[in-house]
Amino acid sequence: TVMQTPSNNQKEVLQTICGMANRIVVMSYKAIEMLVDIYEIPRNKIAYIEHGVPKIEYTQEKVKKEFKLENRKVMLTFGFVGRNKGIETAIKALPKVVEKYPEVLYIVLGKTHPNVIKHAGEEYRLSLLQLIEDLKLENNVVLLNEFATQKELFKYLYASDIYITPYLNEAQITSGTLSYAVGVGSAVVSTPYWHATELLSEGRGVMFDFGETEQLSDVLIDLLDNPEKRLEIRRKAREHGHKITWPKIGGIYNDVVQTVVDEKITIRKKEVAPFDISLLPEFSMKQIQRLTDDTGIIQHAIFGIPNLKEGYCLCDNSRALLLALMAYRVKKDESSLKLIPIYLSYIHYMQNDDGNFRNFLSFSRQYLDKEGSEDSFGRTIWAIGYLLNYPPNNSYNQIGHLIFNTAKPHFDSLQSIRSIANTIIGISYYLRSNMSDDAMIEKLRELTYKLIDHYNINNHDGWHWYEALLAYDNAILPLAMLHSTSILNEEKVKKVAFESMNFLVETTMKSGHLSIIGNEEWYMKDEERSVFAQQPVDAMGMVLMLRQAYNITGDKSY
């Protein structure tokens, strides 16, 4: 199983396991996509091997005779019974089918799920029995509340004319029962959950929409009306089933193991930091807490105390929100939880009705502008996108969605490349938990190619950059492209991301250590670079950029 919306702890555990492994095996392409995009696992570590099926064969005629079902059109659903299985959908679809084919028998084989029993007893099974009675389907539906051995299960599968998986939502990444049904060559009718859309492609099954009983009735009648169509589906399923028997799947596992064994394995040694990490101060949010009141974080300090004369700004509160979310997620810093609603409230208060944001607020709580800078807009979208991917609770998730959706209309009009970059990062975080938002994926692509256009204009004579100078917050630009690469997986985006990153690294680390572009006169192409007045924000950007490059490639040099 790979979760689309893991808790912080679940994500950390899976990332740790994957980090220790030489290869990770998944059973669907959707799982690969989620591991790369949500868990940031390098693609080259992931192997795709389908769910295997036993090599057990019967003839339908023989098992139907054994079960005394010779004169019945048998439909089957197998597995633990629970509300998410959607069995009521299939039952409600039957009256229309039975009217034309009274010999239909729908068998639901399986015990109620232990977790369902624990929390609700047999409430769901009893509701199904009541539904059967209400629809007068006692002669057409059987609920077999029993465990079936593998041998018994395969007899039922061979006895069935149609296999139904009417699950209620798409978030099922692997279904062993579906694999078994395809393996024996069943004519499968299913809702389009993740595994089904992959396994039943190329004519190996028929889909109907979630909860659509009328649609399911029509599909079942069509298959019963057209036995040759049913047989063609079975033939294609059986053909695929031959490819996924355990002996063949075992052979693929052997190949993967052999590949890993043949790779040059570096014995893991304890990694030594380039400096004594014991000299680093203990992580502390005390100064952040000192600068924060019930409105937000004050822009500046004077010595060690807040400089109230400077008031508040959107940029700093967005960065403070990002910091507090990271501190809670990474460091499990409970004090950060108290800061998150303060910064989030400030951002919400500064958002105009049209979705744009003001930036400055005086200590006396007076607005100082009507519309903030594009940079402050982009940094805010980054923080909100991060919140939507790692929400500490549902209420923050809801207010995050409100702010994000209200701001969306302004994405198109962004001109500043750093604002575009920050917005790309925010959208990328948002999409990791909302990959079905096709419109936002397209918006990410549009903004990404805006940056690529800037890059193409300036990329010549060894100057691999997005403008004719290196100024402030430089690493945010390649960082944005790296985030976009993780979502879009397009070679052109990846090429620009790594070219520009390597250019920045070569320029700022020529002497073997980081020397950030100074902010006195920056670094114009073909001129001398400024060395002094280096800004810590650029060091932060370099760390995030190199970490994201490592997440994508697994290359430890980063």
Cα separation, 19 vs 92, whole angstroms: 47
40, two tokens: 């940031």
In SS3 terms, 529-546 reads as CCCCCCCHHHHHHHHHHH
Q: Which of 207, 241, 275 is the last residue of a domain?
A: 241
Q: Which pLDDT score is estimated for 14?
A: 93
pLDDT tens sequence across 296-309: 999 999 988 999 99
Q: How many independent structural domains does the chain possess?
A: 3
* Amino acid (one-letter) located at 54: P
The pLDDT assigned to 270 comes to: 58
The reported pLDDT for the residue numbered 280 is 79
Query: What is the pLDDT at residue 56?
Result: 87
| Cα 528–Cα 495–Cα 524 angle in degrees, nearest 5 | 15
Pair 128, 211 in one domain: yes
Q: Which residue, chain included where needed, has tokens 């807490």?
A: 289
User: What pLDDT does residue 115 have?
Assistant: 81
Q: Is residue 421 part of a domain?
A: yes
Q: Which DSSP string corresponds to 43-80?
A: GGGEEE-PPPB------HHHHHHHTT-TT-EEEEEES-
Looking at 241, 272, 297, the residue that finishes a domain is: 241
In a domain, 554, yes or no: yes
In a 3-state reduction of DSSP, which class is residue 462? coil
143 with 290, same domain: the answer is no
Helices 150-159 + 176-183 axis angle, to 10: 60
Q: Give 10-residue mean pLDDT values along the chain (558 residues).
A: 84 90 93 92 92 90 93 94 92 97 96 84 92 96 92 93 93 90 94 93 94 96 96 94 93 94 68 68 92 97 94 98 96 93 98 98 97 97 98 93 98 98 98 89 97 97 96 97 94 97 95 90 91 93 96 88
Residue 279's pLDDT is 77
Asked, for residue 4, whether it belongs to a domain, the answer is no
What range defines the domain where residue 332 resides? 285-389
Task: Read off the tokens for 358.
Answer: 């003001």
Interhelix angle 314-331/374-389, rounded to 10 degrees, is 20
Together in a domain, 71 and 209: yes
In the prediction, which pLDDT does 462 show?
94
Classify residue 183: in a domain, yes or no: yes
- pLDDT at 415 (0 to 100): 97
Indicate whether 374 and 434 sit together in one domain: no
Dihedral sign of CA atoms 516, 522, 524, 528 in order: negative
Q: Looking at residue 130, which CATH number applies to its domain?
A: 3.40.50.2000
Residues 303 and 450 in one domain: no
